[in-house]
Structure 1
């Protein structure tokens, strides 16, 4: 590992989502009428990759080397504002033309149409600003996010990338209209369609499946002389080819609902680059990339300055409400998950469109259960809960009751096990006050974490 920033090099776009709902068709044409509720601008292309890299919360600075228009371009000003707000340091390259802006009109979470404008490309092919050259030379890791607008094809920049020492991981996210990766990249991350186009190999009998992806990845790896080529395959995860060994498949966790996959590839490549910068193996880096991409698809990017594990669920809640869905919440310590917990969670999930688990923090559990608890820390408890297909989000709270969290969450349904009575739920009046409903669900008899712990102590003595 080498000290230095994580440097993203590539073409930055401005993505704008116009979000709303549609209940009728226009009287003058068979097209939906969309009532706009929100306008959401965000960096796209290499800019999105840089934002995702900055959210990895490593000690490394994130630097974006990208063509950006002059200050008389309002879209360029907006991009600069958004990037700097996310903690990304921007090193400008000259841009010819106007900033590329991609606007999507979205109703009930589904894109209806996309409108593109702007013709911006990297200006010139000779020379490179000193600040850009210095950023690449001093990088601890580099991600090239190529969107086919000239940056990755710049000969001076390519020469600098080829001269990077072997200890500096280079990840390349290619584009069919872009430049080929420089030799000896650590990882190249085309998606399935890009790999098929770039490889132009003979189609296998099962066209489009894992066999085809493996064939394409092997051909591209040999051509590009890359250490590894990973073909991203949407909900099926990513397939990694590193040579003569069989390819490695990193599956993606299921994402509920109808996810918006726009930007998932940028998130995967950014997370994989961050992992490689910290010394991860290729398979480990790809696992982190797939995980972060899945979280991104499920909830969208979280604002910088908030904890990732807390911010993404809030975006999930917002999306569910925007689509008219029902938010269900339940809470507890969930220390040593047992069949009673699982039964409750599965029942609760069937009541709505999104299940949020409000989880007592370690300090909260100790206050409720005593100094010997919890048995598992909050990070492990949250991870186990998140692995259940019925759980969409986990939010941790520090108080003895989730009252403050529920004040903000305002679930449509607040669900607890039948071992509670209505008088034992101090949060019930708060939930009803916001128009929500409190429900008790049947609880499997004889299942209790406290009993499990007591039994373990009685059968194992003081041994742990």
Structure 2
């Protein structure tokens, strides 16, 4: 990972395209309407987010890039709400305000983290002649930019995109296109075009295997004079076709797909940002892939900061991300995980003889967060607590067995009689203990709570005990 790629301080990227307001109504559902067989949502919160090309601009701003956004909005309250969302994140808005068109708005009703319905408010922007206004705004801005992103959602803002691409080429400004529709000839001469697989196959036809995909990708890139073509393939990853280079493919970086909304926006934003600092498309694609894997694990349109992206890329470059780590190595990984908005759970014990009760306990502990740490008493610590005949298994043996438990991400050790010092050093988000404890009697609870974390008590599964196993073996 090259951290200089993430230095966007002096970079300026222009975004042109279909801007939208994403509005979310959040509320609980507890009954069915007497009027129709539908759920009744009691709205408790209204949230406005930037959508479409505006989400691309927001993603760039979150990375630390200077951003100018050009698009069409109405003269309405939704336009004001959208502009507020963007200006709060330092996006410079150069909107054309139409007297006759509404601001494109997508209203989503959310309950219990599930989207129940989406309602769209929009009209076809291409039915109104606004090309000269958009071109004038681009002409005023583009000479000062390091790149331009054309975010096409087929709403009509980019009906004159060919002249805009030519304008970018005359100013030697690389252009990145997120395309839509059945006619890719309108993107002739762009630096890079990024369709998803469905959009790509709408143009070239179904590709039944990778060889067909490669053949059609190279052909399409050459036909329209693009420096590069990037096809995003969902769970199959990404494939880059670049002039005078063999195809470059990457497996998806997604761990869990929660909501794909805005993933394409993230890819194009990170792609352009990394390219203007590195000038290497393969590096840009690697960063974009990791960023997309992050945002699709979030609800709704999500963004990623340069710090989060750096943390992800750094962790990816390490060979000792998981398993048995020293407390010092583990602290570094915890900080990276927390920067990535992952909740870290901590528990501890001797775990001399691992039994099914322990495994069930670990699964329950892991369910409380994203990453689970198990800290193990050293042999000397166990002897002080349990007597000279313990432990039955040495520290390396015990940690190796724990490392093999699927629910556990990290295993570490501590030599003190209690885990107080290691808890204070690692500062997990959730501290878990099993047994008949109260929160007040759990070692380290006060520190975790003072840091804004949680403390949980879980009950061990009845019928399992290390002491009873040892007693039975002695018989």
Shorter-chain TM range is: 0.5 to 0.7
State the alpha-carbon separation in 2 of the partners of residues 250 and 48 from structure 1: 24
Q: Please tell me whether residue 176 in structure 1 is matched to residue 181 in structure 2.
A: yes
- Helix, strand or coil for the counterpart of 1:51? helix
1:210 is displaced (CA, Å) by 4.2
Partner of 2:104: 100
CA contact (8 A) 1:10 1:146 kept: yes
- CA displacement 1:74-110 (0-9 Å, x = unmatched): 0000010001111111112343511111112223333
CA contact (8 A) 1:302 1:311 kept: no
Partner of 2:328: none
CA contact (8 A) 1:349 1:391 kept: no
CA 1:307/1:191 → structure 2, altered by over 3 Å: closer, same or farther? closer
Partner of 2:389: none
Match 2:121 to one of 114, 117, 121: 117
Match 2:39 to one of 14, 32, 45: 32
Match 1:134 to one of 134, 137, 140: 140
Q: Please tell me whether residue 284 in structure 1 is matched to residue 277 in structure 2.
A: no
CA 1:403/1:24 → structure 2, altered by over 3 Å: closer, same or farther? farther
- Helix, strand or coil for the counterpart of 1:355? coil
1:67 is displaced (CA, Å) by 1.7
State the alpha-carbon separation in 2 of the partners of residues 144 and 213 from structure 1: 24
CA 1:119/1:261 → structure 2, altered by over 3 Å: closer, same or farther? same
- Mapping for residues 217-366 of structure 1, pairs under 5 Å: 217-242=217-242, 246-256=246-256, 258-299=257-298, 301=302, 329-330=345-346, 348=362, 351-353=365-367, 355-356=369-370
CA 1:430/1:120 → structure 2, altered by over 3 Å: closer, same or farther? same
Q: Please tell me whether residue 189 in structure 1 is matched to residue 203 in structure 2.
A: no
Match 1:437 to one of 456, 465, 472: 456
Match 1:82 to one of 81, 85, 110: 85
Match 1:159 to one of 153, 158, 166: 166
State the alpha-carbon separation in 1 of the partners of residues 158 and 225 from structure 2: 17
State the alpha-carbon separation in 2 of the partners of residues 152 and 9 from structure 1: 8
Gapped regions of structure 1 (runs ≥ 5): 318-326, 333-339, 360-387, 393-398, 417-421, 442-464
Report the TM-score, using the length of structure 2 for normalisation: 0.65
CA contact (8 A) 1:146 1:178 kept: no
- Helix, strand or coil for the counterpart of 1:55? helix
CA 1:241/1:304 → structure 2, altered by over 3 Å: closer, same or farther? closer
Partner of 1:147: 153
- CA displacement 1:420-450 (0-9 Å, x = unmatched): xx97832258659987414699xxxxxxxxx
CA contact (8 A) 2:197 2:231 kept: yes
Gapped regions of structure 2 (runs ≥ 5): 312-334, 349-353, 374-405, 411-420, 435-439, 461-475
CA contact (8 A) 2:445 2:455 kept: no
CA 1:270/1:23 → structure 2, altered by over 3 Å: closer, same or farther? same
Pick which of 13-22 and 275-284 moved more: 13-22
1:239 is displaced (CA, Å) by 1.4
CA 1:179/1:328 → structure 2, altered by over 3 Å: closer, same or farther? same
State the alpha-carbon separation in 2 of the partners of residues 75 and 21 from structure 1: 25
Equivalent pairs counted in the alignment come to 369
State the alpha-carbon separation in 1 of the partners of residues 408 and 72 from structure 2: 44
Pick which of 6-15 and 308-317 moved more: 308-317
State the alpha-carbon separation in 2 of the partners of residues 151 and 179 from structure 1: 16
State the alpha-carbon separation in 2 of the partners of residues 305 and 242 from structure 1: 26
Partner of 1:454: none
